[in-house]
A = this chain, B = another copy of it.
Amino acid sequence: MDLWFTEYQTPAVGLACRVTRTLLRQKTAYHDMAILETEAFGRMLVLNGAIQLSTADEFVYHEMLAHVPLQAHGRPRRVLVVGGGDGGTVREVLRHPSVEEVVLAEIDQEVVSACQAYLPEVAGGLSDPRVTLAIGDGVAHVESHPGSYDVILVDSTDPVGPATRLFSREFLESCRRALRPGGVVAAQTESPFYHREVMARCFSDFQATFPVTGVYLAPVPTYPSGLWSFMVGSLGPDPSRPADLDGLAAGATRYYTPEVHRAAFVLPRFVQELVGLVQPAVRP
């Protein structure tokens, strides 16, 4: 059988993947969830038609969402992941020897259970004794934990439906209050090719909320356009520089290095323009 899954990344662009097996298809309280085995990208988690991860390229996204803010912080002890029920971000957080506790605030228990069953190389870290699962509303969790975390990682789905609130300025304010002194927040913030308005608004919110901010980029082939952005807000550390080169064992990562960390903040001219870091040039 010639079976294909297509994600319509916009009404005018689709990424089509040949599927070797449908491992799971389930309606949860929040998502139309599927776990597919694809020929090109390995196993894939799909929520409401959108690829959340593939085992071929999730290392880029998860390493860059986790290690940039954790390395910038230097000595993170308590870390919160909002969303990220697949466990990939938690897996990367656990590579930092200073981390004592990771809380995963995920709204959908069934996503967690499905990933534990079908994506053990991604979700395996969730059974680590340092991890606490807080199934429920991530916004409420953040609001009710002031001064609690060294690093908060917002590993959300796209800004539609329940995830919309994770892209609001109010939520960023709550994140700031939930940080300990010297804390750092990082969030996935969509594609500079496809979601310019989302990025522009998000960065304006980060700048209004945090004394130190930054934007960084990484390639994720199964995400729309293949280029993904992240934003970071800090109460102290410069997010574009790793504070402690000994925090992460050399060779533990496949994408991240301290040099990649710094280079990821070097933005192409059009991205500097779209987030307002430079004025748009007048071009011939």
Q: Give the Cβ gap from A215 to chain B, nearest Cβ, in Å.
A: 13
Total identical chains: 2
- Write the chain B residue with the least CB distance to A261: B266
User: Which one, A68-76, A180-188, A250-258, is touching chain B?
Assistant: A250-258
**Is A140 interfacial (CB 8 A cutoff)?**
no
Q: Give the Cβ gap from A277 to chain B, nearest Cβ, in Å.
A: 12
Q: Give the Cβ gap from A205 to chain B, nearest Cβ, in Å.
A: 25
Could you tell me if A12 and B17 are in contact, using CB atoms closer than 8 angstroms?
yes
**Is A60 interfacial (CB 8 A cutoff)?**
yes
**Is A260 interfacial (CB 8 A cutoff)?**
yes
Instruction: Compute how far the CA of A266 lies from the CA of B218 in the bound complex, rounded to whole angstroms.
Output: 12
**Is A225 interfacial (CB 8 A cutoff)?**
yes
- A 12-47 contacts with B by CB, 8 A: 12-18, 38-41
Instruction: Compute how far the CA of A19 lies from the CA of B75 in the bound complex, rounded to whole angstroms.
Output: 51
Q: Which residues of B contact A281 (CB under 8 A)?
A: 250-252
- A 36-93 contacts with B by CB, 8 A: 38-41, 56-57, 59-60
Instruction: Compute how far the CA of A225 lies from the CA of B17 in the bound complex, rounded to whole angstroms.
Output: 12
Q: Mark A255-284, 1 if CB is under 8 A from B, else 0.
A: 111011011001111100000000001111
Given the known A-B contacts A226-B226, A254-B269, are A14 and B11 also in contact in the complex, defined by CB atoms under 8 Å?
no
Q: Which residues of B contact A59 (CB under 8 A)?
A: 270
Could you tell me if B17 and A283 are in contact, using CB atoms closer than 8 angstroms?
no
- Write the chain B residue with the least CB distance to A191: B221
Q: Which residues of B contact A12 (CB under 8 A)?
A: 17-18, 38-40
A15 touches which of B15, B38, B57, B283 (Cβ 8 Å): B15
**Is A198 interfacial (CB 8 A cutoff)?**
no
**Is A219 interfacial (CB 8 A cutoff)?**
yes
Could you tell me if A14 and B16 are in contact, using CB atoms closer than 8 angstroms?
yes
- Write the chain B residue with the least CB distance to A279: B251
Best-buried of A18, A266, A282 by chain B (most CB within 10 Å): A266
A268 touches which of B13, B39, B60, B267 (Cβ 8 Å): B60
Given the known A-B contacts A13-B40, A254-B283, are A57 and B221 also in contact in the complex, defined by CB atoms under 8 Å?
no
The 21 sampled A-B contact pairs (Cβ below 8 Å) are: A4-B14, A11-B18, A11-B39, A12-B39, A13-B17, A14-B14, A14-B15, A14-B16, A57-B193, A59-B270, A219-B227, A227-B227, A253-B269, A254-B269, A254-B270, A255-B269, A256-B268, A256-B269, A257-B266, A259-B266, A263-B266
- Given A56-B193, A262-B266, 9 other A-B contacts at CB below 8 A? A13-B15, A15-B16, A16-B16, A226-B227, A254-B270, A255-B270, A257-B266, A260-B266, A260-B269
Q: Which 5 A-B pairs have the closest CB atoms?
A: A226-B226, A251-B281, A12-B39, A263-B266, A14-B16
